[in-house]
Amino acid sequence: MVMMALQVILIALIAYFLVFKLFGNSYDSAVMANGLCGFGLGGNAFGGWSDESAQGISTFFFMYL
C-alpha cells in the first residue's frame, strides 16, 4: 500500500512539474501529462480520450505515440 501511494505521488509530481510545465501549460501538455499518468500507473495512455473537450483531440499527442 505504501509503495502504491509513493508511485501515485511520484507520477503526479513528474506529470505536473516535468511534463505539463515542459510542454508549455497548454491543452496539449495536459493531454501528455494525462497519458503519462495512465501509463505510469500501469494502465494505458489512452485513458483520458473518452472525454473530448471543446478543443477536440490533441494532435500533438499523436506525434509522441
Contact 36, 14 (CB under 8 A): yes
Residue percentage of the chain with pLDDT more than 70: 65
Single-letter amino acid code for the residue at 46: F
- The stretch 21-42 carries a mean pLDDT of 83
Closest CA to 6 of 44, 22, 14: 14
Q: What is the pLDDT of residue 17?
A: 92
The rounded distance, in Å, linking the Cα atoms of 46 and 27 is 15
Q: When comparing pLDDT for 30 and 52, which is higher?
A: 30
pLDDT in tens, 37-57: 888 777 655 555 555 555 666
Residues 6+ apart with CB under 8 A from 47: 34, 35, 37, 38
